[in-house]
C-alpha cells in the first residue's frame, strides 16, 4: 500500500467518523426534543412506546399555573428594551471604533469584548451584589441593565464590519453639502446600515431570550423572563406534573426558534467573517 492510498484511507476514515458523530448528535437531540414534545401532549406515558392518550390540557395548565401570560409580557418588555437600547448605544460606538483612531483604542475594544469572552457568572455575581445594594435587583430596569452588559458589545462586534464596508467618501460628501454629524448619520449611514442594524437587533433579541444567568441573578418575582420562569417551574419547591413543565418548555423552545428563524432569514452566520476578510483584502 502506497503512502498516497494510506493517506486517502485515513482521510476517508476520519471523515466517516466525523459524519457518524454528527449523525449521533443530531439523532440524540432530535429524540430528546421529540420525547419532550410527545410528553407535553400525553395523558399518561409509562413503559410504552407511545402515550395511552393525547390532550392539550397541559398547555392550558402551564398558562394558568406558571402565569405564562404575565411572564411572556415581561419577556417582551425586557427583550424590546434591551434591543432598542443596545442598538442606540452600540451602533454609534461601533462607528467610533471603525472610523476613529485614538489612544487606547485597542484597550477599549478589548474591554468591550470581555463580556462576550468570559462566562456571565464571572461578572454576574458581583453585578447582582452591586444591584441589590442600590435597589435595582428585582426590578424590570435591573434585568434590562444586566442584559445590556453583554448585548451592547455584541452589537458593536456585529456592526463594526458593516460600517467598515461603507466608503468614507460618502460621509465626506455629505459634510461638504452642509450636513452635520447627526444628519449625516441619520440620512446617509443609517439607510446603508439598515441590513446590519436589523441583523444585530434580531440576534440580540434571540440572545436576550436565551440569557439565563444574568437574568436569574437579578430578576424578582415580577421581572422573570420566560427562561427563568421555566427554571423555577422545574426546580422550585412543590409538586408539578412533568407534562405541564414539558408544555412550558415547548412554548419557550418554539418562541425562541421562531425568532431565530427570522434572524437567520436576514443574516448569514458566515457573513460577518467573510466581510471582515474582504475588507482586509481590499485594504
Query: What band does 69 get if pLDDT is binned at 50, 70 and 90?
Result: confident
Check whether residue 65 and residue 193 sit in a common domain: yes
Quote the DSSP letter at residue 186: I
What value, to the nearest 5°, has the Cα angle with vertex 185 and ends 179 and 190?
135
Same domain, 168 and 195: yes
Give me the phi and psi of 51, to 5 degrees please.
Answer: -65, 165
Q: How far is CA 241 from the centre of its chain?
A: 30
Check whether 211 has a pLDDT greater than 60.
yes
**Is 130 found in the same domain as 258?**
yes
The answer on 106 and 187 residing in a single domain is: yes
Distance CA 128, CA 82 (A): 17
Same domain, 220 and 132: yes
Contact 206, 260 (CB under 8 A): yes
Residue 116 shares a structural domain with residue 181: yes
Q: How many domains, in total, are found in the chain? A: 2
Are 161 and 235 contained in the same domain? Answer: yes
Most confident of 15-19, 78-82, 172-176, 206-210: 78-82
pLDDT digits (tens, 9 = 90+) for 121-130: 888 999 999 9
Last residue of a domain, one of 55, 70, 87: 55
Whether residues 275 and 152 share a domain: the answer is yes
Residue 270 CA neighbour count, 13 Å, CB half: 1
When pLDDT is averaged across residues 239-257 and rounded to a whole number, the result is 83
Question: Would you place residue 45 in the very low, low, confident or very high pLDDT band (cuts 50, 70, 90)?
Answer: confident
Comparing 22-36, 56-70, 87-101, which segment has the lowest mean pLDDT? 56-70
The sign of the dihedral angle between the CA atoms of 58, 230, 34, 46 is: negative
CA dist 204 and 198 (Å) reads: 10
Mean pLDDT of the chain: 83
Q: Is 54 helix (H, G, I), strand (E, B) or coil?
A: strand
75 and 200, same domain (yes or no): yes
Is the domain of 160 the same as that of 189? yes
Q: pLDDT digit string (tens) for 169-187?
A: 887 888 888 777 778 888 8
Q: Residue 25: which domain range?
A: 1-55
pLDDT on residue 26:
92
Residue 2: its pLDDT value, please? 62
| Residues 202, 87 within the same domain | yes
Structure letter (DSSP) for residue 265: H
Domain co-membership, 118 together with 227: yes
How far are the Cα atoms of 112, 145, 189, 206, 254 from residue 199, in angstroms, in the given order? Answer: 19, 21, 16, 11, 20
CATH number assigned to the domain comprising residue 140: 1.10.3720.10
Amino acid at each position: 500500500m502506497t503512502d498516497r492510498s494510506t493517506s486517502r484511507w485515513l482521510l476517508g476514515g476520519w471523515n466517516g467518523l466525523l459524519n457518524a458523530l454528527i449523525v449521533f448528535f443530531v439523532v440524540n437531540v432530535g429524540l430528546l426534543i421529540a420525547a419532550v414534545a410527545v410528553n407535553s401532549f400525553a395523558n399518561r406515558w409509562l413503559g410504552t412506546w407511545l402515550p395511552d392518550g393525547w390532550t392539550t390540557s397541559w398547555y392550558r395548565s402551564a398558562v394558568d399555573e406558571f402565569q405564562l401570560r404575565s411572564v411572556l409580557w415581561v419577556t417582551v418588555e425586557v427583550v424590546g428594551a434591551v434591543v432598542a437600547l443596545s442598538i442606540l448605544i452600540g451602533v454609534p460606538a461601533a462607528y467610533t471604533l471603525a472610523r476613529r483612531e485614538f489612544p487606547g483604542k485597542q484597550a477599549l475594544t478589548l474591554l468591550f469584548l470581555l463580556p462576550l469572552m468570559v462566562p456571565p457568572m464571572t461578572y454576574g455575581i458581583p453585578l447582582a451584589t452591586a444591584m441589590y445594594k442600590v435597589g435595582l435587583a428585582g426590578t424590570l430596569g435591573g434585568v434590562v441593565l444586566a442584559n445590556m452588559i453583554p448585548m451592547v458589545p455584541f452589537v458593536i462586534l456585529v456592526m463594526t464590519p458593516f460600517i467598515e464596508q461603507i466608503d468614507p467618501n460618502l460621509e465626506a460628501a455629505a459634510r461638504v453639502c452642509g450636513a452635520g454629524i447627526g444628519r449625516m448619520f441619520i440620512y446617509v449611514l443609517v439607510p446603508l446600515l439598515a441590513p446590519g442594524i436589523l441583523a444585530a437587533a434580531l440576534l440580540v433579541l434571540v440572545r436576550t431570550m436565551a440569557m439565563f444567568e444574568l437574568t436569574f441573578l437579578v430578576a424578582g418575582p415580577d421581572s422573570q423572563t420566560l427562561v427563568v420562569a421555566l427554571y423555577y417551574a422545574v426546580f422550585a419547591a412543590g409538586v408539578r406534573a412533568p407534562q405541564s413543565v414539558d408544555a412550558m418548555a415547548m412554548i419557550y423552545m418554539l418562541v425562541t426558534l421562531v425568532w431565530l428563524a427570522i434572524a437567520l432569514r436576514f443574516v448569514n452566520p458566515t457573513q460577518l467573517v467573510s466581510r471582515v476578510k474582504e475588507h482586509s483584502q481590499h485594504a
